[in-house]
Amino acid sequence: MKFARTSGTEEPEISLTSLIDVVFILIIFFVVTTRFDPRAALELKLPNASAPALVEPLPPLELLVDADGRYYLDGKEVLGQGIDALSKALTAHPGEPETTPVVLRADARSSHQAVVTALDALGRRGFVRISIATTPETGQ
């Protein structure tokens, strides 16, 4: 039995069609998902000002709710329970409610009603910059 031999050697070929398709799809993906900042195109020269750049931020008002539902305003216990006592203590606090930041620190074991009462008292007084303090979750 005699097998036919090919004359000459064949050059291996690499098909570029699928490679071009993948690159084309990647280009389309990057064009579609890229966000352009319209402000980056503008070249502005801002005017000079003689006023200081930053104003001292107001110290936040700290409202704490312990596990028993007692309230502490800047480290001092609010005498009496309920929204009326808390509202009265917030009214006595100096500063404008619209601009004063508030940090609400509630114990994880405190009742939901105590936290809602604190938020309600803050809202009635006119505080709008309210943050609720939390701790980061530890690894599971």
Domain count, the chain: 1
CB 138 within 8 A of CB 83: no
Task: Summarize pLDDT for 19-63 with one digit per residue, the tens.
Answer: 899 999 999 998 888 877 665 655 656 666 666 655 556 788 899
CB 85 within 8 A of CB 78: yes
Question: Residue 27 domain-assigned?
Answer: no
Question: Residue 96 domain-assigned?
Answer: yes
The CATH number of whichever domain residue 74 belongs to comes to: 3.30.420.270
Task: Summarize pLDDT for 51-99 with one digit per residue, the tens.
Answer: 665 555 678 889 999 888 889 998 888 988 888 989 899 888 877 888 8
Question: Which residue has tokens 């000459």?
Answer: 8
What's the confidence (pLDDT) of residue 32?
87
Q: How far is residue 25's CA from residue 36's CA, in Å, rounded to a whole number?
A: 20
The CA dihedral of 64, 70, 76, 80, to the nearest 10 degrees, is: 140
Question: Residue 2 domain-assigned?
Answer: no
What's the confidence (pLDDT) of residue 22?
92
Question: Residue 65 domain-assigned?
Answer: yes
For residue 133, pLDDT beyond 90 = no
Question: Residue 101 domain-assigned?
Answer: yes
Give the domain extent around 110: 61-132
Confidence (pTM): 0.57
From first CA to last CA, the distance across the chain in angstroms is 72
